[in-house]
Structure 1
Amino acid sequence: MIEAERLLLDAALDDPANQRFVLLSDSCVPLYNFSYTYNYIMQSPRSFVDSFLDKEGRFNPDMAPVIPKDKWRKGSQWFALIRRHAEVVVADEVVFPVFRKFCKRRPPIDVKKGRLNMILQQLHNCIPDEHYLPTLLTMAGLESELERRTLTYTLWNESISKMEGKGWHPVTFGYYDATPQRMKEIKDINNVHYATENRTEWCKTNSTSVPCFLFARKFSQGAGMRLLAHGFGGYFSSSPLPDKKQ
C-alpha cells in the first residue's frame, strides 16, 4: 500500500500546478461541495496527517536504530499533503526500506493450520499504511508543520471473527444509514480526542474553527446512490470559509 502511495505521489508531482495531494478511499463520499473543500485545504499552509502515539506495541525493535521508538507514530492512512511534504515522501530512501523489511501484517488466523496459528500469531504485527507517513514526517522534523488529524471520517467497530480474531474494523454505511441526520452528525464534529496522548485536537484552519471532516467512509454503493439522489444542494453545500477568526 505505501509503495503504491509513493508511486501515486511521484506521478502527481510531475505536474508543477499540483500543490495539494489528497488520498481517498473508493468508499469515501464528500461532505461538502468542491469549492468549500478546495478552499478548506488550500487555505491551510499545513498538511493534514493523522499522527499520534501508538499504544498497541506495533513498533518492531528490529527497526531501530534507523527508526527510533520515540519517533514511532500511528494514524489514519487518508492524508492531504502540501507539495513539500509530498516531495519528502517520494525522496525517502531511509524509512521506506526499513518498513518494507520489518513492518508486515500478521497473517489472519486460519483454522486449517491448527497449532501453526500459535506460531504465526507470535509474529510481530505491523500495518504499514497506518504508521509509515506519520513516522516519516516525525523523523523528518515536520510534525510541527502538520494538522495532526485526518480529513476523512471513519466509524470503527471492535469485532471478533474466527479468521481475524479480535480487532477494529471500519463500519460500512448502507442505504438506510445514509440519512440527513447521520450526515449532519458527521459534519458537526469539531474536535477529535486522542486517548494515547490525552490530547483533544480542536479542528481549525488559520486559527478559525472549522468542521473536522471533509469526507466520510465507508459508504456502500447503495448509500452513495441515495446521497446522490438527494442532490448536492442538501447534504453537501456549505457557506464559504470565513477568512478571519471570529
Structure 2
Amino acid sequence: MPTPASTTPPRVGVGVGVWIWRRVQGPSHPVQAHRRHTPTLIAAARRLLAHALLHDQSNSMFALLSPSCIPLHPFSYTYRTLIKSRRSFIEILKDEPGAYERWAARGEEAMLPEVGYEEFRIGSQFWVLKRKHARIVVGERRVWSKLKLPCLRDYTCYPEEHYFATVLSMVDPRGCIPCTLTHVDWNGGHGGHPRMYMSSEVGSELIRRLRQSRPRYGDERSSNGSGSGSGVRVGGEDMTRLCLLESSHQGHCTS
C-alpha cells in the first residue's frame, strides 16, 4: 500500500476507521506498489481481507471500494441494507465481449486444467463479501496459481477483474448477488474506464436520478449501457435498493 504524503496521523473521531494511515503487508513481503495489468491488485486485496478477518472476529462483511466513489445513500442506510443480506455482492459476468482473449492472455492453454474457459468470469474489482467468502478468497490457491502468472499482452490482462468473480462463481454462485454496488455509466467511457462525473455535474438532481436507476445483474444486457431502468426482484430481495449504494465522482468505481 502507498505511504501517505504526511506522517502525522489525523485526529481520531467520526469517520476515522482502523485502516486509516495503516500500511498492510504480508508476513514475508515488504510493502509493495500495485499496478494495473499485474496480479498485484489481487494480492493487495487479499492482504487487506486477511488483516480485516484477523483484526476483528465480529466483522461479518468486507467492502472494497474505489476512493473516487461518493455515497448515494446515508451510511446508516447502506449499513442496515448490507448487514441484512445473507449473500455477497459481486459482479459475475460470463459472456462478455473479449472474454476468450482475457482467458488466454497468458497463453492458449495456460489456465488449464485449473480454470476452463467455461468457468472463467469477468466482474468489477470492487465488491462486498460475506465473511465466509472473504475466507475463501484469502485461502484459495487453485485460481490464484493461474492468474498470478504474467500476461503476454497488457491490453487483455486485467486479473483483478477475474479473480474474485471466477473463484466465487466456481465455489458458491448461489451465495452471491451478481451485481456491483457501484454505479457506472459506460456511455462516453474510454480506455477501459467508464464515464467520469465532473464536479459541475454532481448535485441533488444527479443523486436522485442515480437512486432511481437500475443496476445490471449478471449477464443481462442493458439498453443504454448504464444499467438504468425499472426495479427488479431476485431471490426475494429488493435488488434496486440493495445495489445502488455508490456512484463515481471525478474518477471511476469499476472498470
Q: Same fold (TM over 0.5)?
A: yes
Unaligned segments of structure 1, at least 5 residues: 109-124, 161-166, 222-246
Hey, what does 1:101 align to over in structure 2?
A: 149
The one-letter amino acid paired with 1:42 is: I
The one-letter amino acid paired with 1:2 is: I
Correspondence 1:216 to 2:247: yes
Hey, what does 1:35 align to over in structure 2?
A: 76
**Aligned partners of 2:42 and 2:160 also within 8 Å:** yes
Please show how residues 9-24 of structure 1 align to structure 2 within 5 Å: 9-14=49-54, 15-24=56-65
| Percent sequence identity over aligned pairs | 31
The one-letter amino acid paired with 2:47 is: L
**Aligned counterpart for 1:69 among listed residues 111, 117, 135:** 117
1:207: Cα distance to partner? 2.8
Q: Deviations over 1:59-107 (max 9, x none)?
A: 12310111111111111111000000000000011111210115x4834
Please show how residues 81-100 of structure 1 align to structure 2 within 5 Å: 81-100=129-148
Correspondence 1:186 to 2:216: no
The separation in 1 between residues aligned to 2:188 and 2:198, in whole angstroms, is: 18
1:169: Cα distance to partner? 1.6
The separation in 2 between residues aligned to 1:93 and 1:40, in whole angstroms, is: 32
Q: TM-score of the superposition, structure 1-length normalised?
A: 0.72
Unaligned segments of structure 2, at least 5 residues: 1-40
Correspondence 1:127 to 2:171: no
1:203: Cα distance to partner? 5.4
The one-letter amino acid paired with 1:36 is: Y
Hey, what does 2:67 align to over in structure 1?
A: 26
SS in 2 for 1:89: helix
SS in 1 for 2:129: strand
Hey, what does 1:2 align to over in structure 2?
A: 42
Aligned CA distance change for structure 1 residues 132 and 209 (closer, same or farther; 3 Å): closer
The one-letter amino acid paired with 1:24 is: L
- Count how many residue pairs are aligned between Structure 1 and Structure 2: 195
The separation in 2 between residues aligned to 1:159 and 1:45, in whole angstroms, is: 33
**Aligned counterpart for 1:151 among listed residues 181, 186, 211:** 181
The separation in 1 between residues aligned to 2:114 and 2:145, in whole angstroms, is: 10
The one-letter amino acid paired with 2:170 is: M
1:156: Cα distance to partner? 2.3
1:174: Cα distance to partner? 1.4
Please show how residues 134-145 of structure 1 align to structure 2 within 5 Å: 134-140=165-171, 142-145=172-175
**Aligned partners of 1:105 and 1:127 also within 8 Å:** no
Q: TM-score of the superposition, structure 2-length normalised?
A: 0.69
**Aligned partners of 2:89 and 2:181 also within 8 Å:** yes
The separation in 2 between residues aligned to 1:13 and 1:79, in whole angstroms, is: 16
Correspondence 1:47 to 2:88: yes
Structure ranking higher in helix proportion:
1
CA RMSD of aligned residues (A): 2.5
**Aligned partners of 1:191 and 1:202 also within 8 Å:** no
Q: Deviations over 1:19-62 (max 9, x none)?
A: 00000101011111111101110111000010011331211231
